[in-house]
Chains A and B, each alone.
Chain A
Amino acid sequence: MTIRHHPKDSLRLAYVAGQMDPATALIMATHLSLCAQCRAAAADDECIGGALLEGAEPMPLRSDALARVMARLGAPEAIHRTEPSADGTPAPLRAFLGHELSCVRWRRLGPRLGYVTLYRRGSLAMRLLRGAPGTEVGQHTHRGAEYTVVLRGGYSDESGNYGPGDFQIASADLTHNPVADVGEDCINLAVTDGGLQFRSRVQNVVASLFGF
């Protein structure tokens, strides 16, 4: 799998540092599952965290802290192994869904588009999106940032072509019309902050009806 589009350093750093909302964290974790290059970079980021922890000026604990902890030492945990996925669903996504990608029950949005909303908090929404080959989403812009990671198939827009594992950052100033590549269905995980703004008024009405 050749991945050409990656999240920015600052986004990866925020993930590693643990300062991310759960939706953006899931999309980052999903990309990391698919991208060896970003995994290596994230390992380096964690190493920075380790170096900073090591260098922290120690702050004494209460005098009875060690005794309290020693009194609570119990049995060690068995090593947890992630079960391999039957259909290649990235482990963090599978853990979130509670099942494989192939068991998703899609809601229809027209004859060629499907979606499931996985998470919603304030203006933030996370969805799985599925488009039949050649499907056009329609020219739209974003009220806030939109992050997309491709799980199956691929799509193209004004900014380039995105295949499995690719991570697209669409900022509020990007107007695009993603078109699913020919071949297989395109399945994406997307996090949007603030929703979409379509050029077509009909699409805007439909989008708002469906909560996009």
Chain B
Amino acid sequence: MQHAFSFARARQRSRRPPAGQLPVRLMGSQDQASSPERLVAMLRRVAAFQDRQAFQELFAHFAPRIKAYLVRGGTASQQAEDLAQEAMLAVWRKAAQFDSNRASAATWIFTIARNLRIDMHRRERHPRFDPADPFFMPDSPDPADSALQTRQREHQLRKAIQALPPDQFRIVMLSFFSEKPHSQIAAELDIPLGTVKSRIRLAMMRLKTLLGDES
């Protein structure tokens, strides 16, 4: 059984203080089709063969999640629909850039959706840092190792996020999904800006502890 975060529920609660429960719900056992390994394999097929069937599977899995991510962040439904479609087109075009040593399919697609959302809001070109910059030293010399490490780390992180106290979880979620700066999140939750920042800090510290690295 897998837990999944329910944004609908978290949103309802965001006006009231938490009842001491995690805003998670059971989504039922995840089907074989959408396991992280399977999604990586589908992305590879799109990259290598422009496999349309693999793309359809990615679309079925990710497009409704991208739309949810955007709507949750305050994008109007119609615009979220269009952006989700654009994001999936970008997945098709950029599939060869996906590197499973660096990230899972979900993480990579998160960055695509995020960049599209930034571009939608800004006329100016937005500076971005290129993780494939040859200037950087590779973190791990063995790609086979780093793919496995990435998977394990993502798995640990997911578990760690689910183990966060509800107020910290909500702040982390809002900082990722809301288009609003921290000051507006504070106003919306009716808590001081300092509290938002300290909850983020606590949440990040807790995630680090749960991951077992304090460095």
Listed in ascending order, the chain A residues whose CB lies under 8 Å from chain B are 8-10, 13-14, 16-19, 22, 25-26, 28-30, 32-33, 36-37, 39-40, 43-44, 46-62, 65-66, 68-70, 72-82, 84-85, 88, 90-92, 95-96
Instruction: Provide the residues of chain A in CB contact with B92, threshold 8 Å.
Output: 73, 76
Contact B133 A17 (CB under 8 A): no
Bound Cα distance A28, B177 (Å): 20
Quick one: which of B144-164 are within 8 Å of A by CB? 153-154, 157-158, 161
**Nearest residue, chain A, Cβ from B122:** A22
Most chain B CB within a 10 A radius of its CB, from A59, A74, A76: A59
Contact residues in B for A49 (Cβ distance below 8 Å): 107, 110-111, 114, 176
From residue A90, how far is it (CB to closest CB) to chain B in Å? 8
A58 to B124, CA, bound (A): 31
Q: Are B107 and A19 in contact (CB under 8 A)?
A: no
Apart from A9-B205, A43-B131, A79-B96, list 13 A-B contacts with CB within 8 A: A19-B181, A29-B128, A33-B129, A37-B215, A43-B102, A46-B110, A47-B154, A50-B104, A50-B106, A50-B110, A69-B89, A76-B93, A76-B94
A and B contact pairs by CB, cutoff 8 A, 19 listed: A18-B118, A19-B179, A19-B182, A22-B122, A29-B128, A29-B129, A44-B153, A46-B110, A49-B111, A50-B108, A51-B107, A53-B109, A55-B158, A57-B8, A57-B68, A59-B64, A73-B50, A79-B97, A88-B135
* B215 contacts across to A, CB distance below 8 A: 37
A9 to B129, CA, bound (A): 17
**A residues within 8 A CB of B96?**
76-79
Q: Are A53 and B126 in contact (CB under 8 A)?
A: no
We find that the number of chain B residues with CB closer than 8 angstroms to chain A is 89
Is A82 a contact partner of B176 (Cβ separation < 8 A)? no
A16 to B204, CA, bound (A): 13
In the bound complex, residues from chain B placing their C-beta under 8 Å from that of A62 are: 81
Which residues in chain B, 98-150, are within 8 Å of chain A measured between CB atoms?
Answer: 102-104, 106-111, 113-115, 117-118, 122, 124-137, 139
B201 touches A (CB below 8 Å): yes
**Could you tell me the distance in whole angstroms from the C-beta of A120 to the nearest C-beta in chain B?**
12
B127 adjacent to A96 (CB under 8 Å): yes
Q: Please indicate which of the listed interface residues B102, B118, B200, B204 has the most CB atoms of chain A within 10 Å of its own CB.
A: B204
Instruction: Give the chain A neighbours of B179 by CB distance below 8 A.
Output: 19
Chain A residues with CB under 8 A of B50: 73, 76
Q: Does B6 contact A (CB under 8 A)?
A: yes
Q: What's the nearest-Cβ distance from chain B to residue A121, in Å?
A: 9
Q: Given that A39-B136, A70-B56 are known contacts, is A47 also in contact with B104, CB under 8 Å in the complex? A: yes
